[in-house]
Amino acid sequence: MSESDSRATWAASASLAGGISTEVERGRDELAALLAITLNVNGRLWHLEVDTRTSLLDALREHLRLTGTKKGCDHGQCGACTVLVNGRRINSCLALAVMHEDDEIVTIEGLGEPGDLHPVQAAFVECDGFQCGYCTPGQICSAVGMLTEVAAGWPSHVTADVSSRQITLSGEEIRERMSGNICRCAAYPNIVAAIRVIAQGAPE
């Protein structure tokens, strides 16, 4: 069935009941402001045309089909959409795709894949750091970004000596720094265990 046929069907069924067909048709034909952009995601350049309102999260999922990054709240409150931008973790739901043309974006797919897992991914599997898995890409990207922050000596709310450049990644530090990533299955103890495996393997 062609598109015009289906529109006619919808208009007919809509007008039967109360005459909202005009709005439906106009909505279908209206063109949004599209912008041609290039995103550097997982080491590859992607050319796409996006609505200027498209979040980085929706660009990744709906345009690039990188559905590993998840939408949990679309509101910056749950962390499921965490990706790495120039090595730093951000909530991709709070960023517009058009703002990130010159950035290096890494998603869960870019960290590793089955058979060639990133060490943090492997540690999550080993420690059963997930149940339903929906928050997991965000947890893992967040953990990778967090470990970089610790290596750079960034203090947190629970760091005893904020002037020290040497952060000891205690369980308390991990929990504080990972609290932007909610896990409703509550795999928290196992997630912390997975991150500890990585932290303890890293040079002091």
Partner 1 sequence: MTHLNAPAQGSPDLSMRIEYWRAYPALSSPDVRHYGQPVALVVATTFEQARAAANLVDVEYAGAPGCYDFAACQDQTYAPDALIYGAIPPDTSVGDFDAGFDSAPVRIDVRYSTPYELSQPMEPHACLVVPHGEDLIVHVSTQIVDAARSSIVRTLLIDPERIHIITPYVGGGFGSKLRIHAETILAALAARALRRPVKVALTRQQMFHLTGLRPTSSQRVRLGAQRDGRLVAIAHEVTMHTNPRSDFIEPTAATTRSLYAAPNRLTSHRLTPLDLPRGEDVRAPGEAPGMLVVESAMDELADALGMDPVELRIRNEPTVDPEQGLPFSDRQLVDCLREGARRFGWERRPATPASVREGQWLVGYGMAAGIRGHIQVPTTAQVRLAADGTAVVQTDMTDIGTGTYTVLTQVAADGLGLPPDQVRVELGRSEYPVSMGSGGSWGAANSSTAVHRACQALREKLVAAARNDVRSALHGLDPAGAKFSDGIVSIDGVSEALSEIVARNYPDGVAADGQTPAMRDDPNYADYSIHTYGAHFAEVGVDADTAEIRLRRMLGVFSVGRVLNAKTARSQLIGGMIWGAGAALEEDAVVDLRSGAFVTRDLAQYLVPVHADIPEVDAVVLDGYDGKANVLGAKGLGELGICGAGAAVANAVFNATGVRVRDFPITLEKVLPGLPPLDD
Residues in the site for partner 1, rule: CB under 8 A?
Answer: 1, 6, 9-10, 13-14, 16-18, 20, 27-28, 30, 32, 51, 53-54, 58, 62, 70-75, 77-78, 80, 128, 130-135, 171, 174-176, 178-192
Sheet holding 82-85, edge to edge: 44-51, 34-41, 104-106, 82-85, 88-91
Total Cβ atoms within 10 A of residue 33: 8
CB of 163 to partner 1, least distance (A): 23
User: Smaller CB distance to partner 1: residue 11 or 104?
Assistant: 11
CA distance 42 to 108: 9
User: Smaller CB distance to partner 1: residue 148 or 170?
Assistant: 170
Nearest 5°: the CA angle 171, 186, 202 is 35
CB of 133 to partner 1, least distance (A): 7
User: Smaller CB distance to partner 1: residue 66 or 78?
Assistant: 78
CA–CA distance from 99 to each of 37, 56, 94, 105 (Å)?
Answer: 10, 8, 11, 12
User: Smaller CB distance to partner 1: residue 42 or 54?
Assistant: 54
User: Smaller CB distance to partner 1: residue 19 or 87?
Assistant: 19
In the block, tokens 């590793």 appear at 112
CB of 65 to partner 1, least distance (A): 14
CA distance 126 to 152: 27
Token couple for 119: 């060490």
What φ, ψ does residue 168 adopt, rounded to 5°?
-90, 120
CB of 104 to partner 1, least distance (A): 25
CB of 161 to partner 1, least distance (A): 18
